[in-house]
Structure 1
Amino acid sequence: MPAPHPLIKPLLVHTGFADVAKLRHFKIDHHLVTALVERWRPEKHTFHHPVRECTITLEDVALQLGIRVDGRPITSATYYDWEEICEQYLGVVPPKGEAIVGSAIKLKWLQDNMPSLPSESTQQQLEAHCRAYILWLIGGVLMPNKTGNRVHLMYLTFLADLDRVRRYSWGFACLATLYREMCRVTNLDAKTMGGCASLLQYWAWYRMPFIAARVNRTPSYPLVTR
């Protein structure tokens, strides 16, 4: 996914998704994720290490992703006229089969057909483009399913009014999805895992710094002033 268009960056800040947009190119250490999942115990939702148990909390979500962990829950009906919903909020009508599969839309199609922004964009065009970008972030970063190429369109209904997006607990939904996916992948026949792998890796690096990647350069602190 390309970087967000400069014209929608104020809307991403307003909705609380500006920090999440920075994770779109985060490289996942699959060996680390696999090692952590092998120590996951579904009955307790904790990692079992030789010295103690631990787990990812809402505090970690707020620290690592910068999204709200309190507020209204992400719950909604899972059936609408999805073509009509997309036309109303995205400004495009995705074709069934090619773009919409059941109640989900393909991320690749969404990326390739995201509403363009002319130099003199209207507020409606800006909001439609922002909704499409946030929907991609939800399906590609925050709450990807195990296929990694679709996102449920029910999330689009929560983006209808961009002034209300901050009221929802996106962090809680993200953590619940990661818990569910890690529980599912503990099954012997599971081959892939969904959920926010970047959150899992960030958490491991922050809570267990001795396994964090080493950077061979002098650290700089551009926000510090004398």
Structure 2
Amino acid sequence: MRLDERIVPYLHMAGLYHLVRLNETWFRSDESLVSAFMERWRPETHMFHMPFGKCTITLQDMAYQLGLPIDGNYVSGCLMDFERYIKGGHPAWMRFEELLGVLPLANCIDKFTVKCSWMQETFGKLPHGVNDATVKRYARAYTMMLLGTQLFGDKFGTCLHIR
């Protein structure tokens, strides 16, 4: 998604602006290398099983590489019980609509994931002359795409979890 300057203050407030450098201009992802690592990941041990042995990425590695804070409250929860962790007990898609102002089409949803192509089509370009509430919605969508594709991407890079 294109980064609009009107979104930047919200990324600064969230402490995520530095992650924008992970785009194609600053950081090129080697898709085949990422795919090879994903194939070697074992969720039961939380490690990569490499020909030379096992290895893992630590929290300290992430903090150092990405500049993410590792102090303070953590965010966690079981995906199976995802809806019960939502503030106010709202169904997940109701909360999605509250935060982004729109629901994806039924063919763009699979359980708790939404197609990246729908996000791009819907929030790809922030129109001129919109109010602050709309800018905030686009900032939320940009943040969701940033985290869902750069940090927590799925194996195919086509969907992102709404958590």
TM range (shorter): 0.7 to 0.9
* Aligned CA distance change for structure 1 residues 101 and 36 (closer, same or farther; 3 Å): closer
Give 1:141 deviation, angstroms: 1.0
| Structure 2 equivalent of residue 17 of structure 1 | 16
RMSD of aligned Cα (Å): 3.2
Q: Percent identity?
A: 25
- Partner amino acid for 1:133? Y
Matches within 5 A, 1:1-226: 1-2=1-2, 4-25=3-24, 26-28=28-30, 30-31=32-33, 34=36, 43=45, 45=47, 55-76=56-77, 77-79=81-83, 80-96=90-106, 98-114=107-123, 117-153=126-162, 155=163
Unaligned runs of 5+ in 1: 156-226
CA displacement 1:23-64 (0-9 Å, x = unmatched)? 132221624873797698x758377786x9754222221121
Structure 1's 105 and 66: CA in aligned 2 closer, same or farther, altered over 3 A?
Answer: same
C-alpha distance in 2 between matches for 1:74 and 1:30:
30
Encode CA deviations 1:116-157: one digit per residue, 9 max, x unaligned: 53433322112111110111112211111223211111x2xx
Equivalences, count: 151
- Output the CA distance in 1 between the equivalents of 2:99 and 2:41: 42
Tell me the TM-score normalized by structure 1.
0.55
Q: Contact conserved, 1:90 with 1:115, CA < 8 A, in 2?
A: no
What letter corresponds to residue 135 of structure 2 in structure 1?
A: L
Compute the displacement of 1:21 (Å): 1.8
**Secondary structure at 1:147 match in 2:** coil
Could you state the TM-score of these two structures normalised by the residue count of structure 2?
Answer: 0.73
Who wins on radius of gyration, i.e. which is larger? 1
Asked if the contact 1:87–1:93 (Cα under 8 Å) also holds between the matched residues in 2, the reply is yes
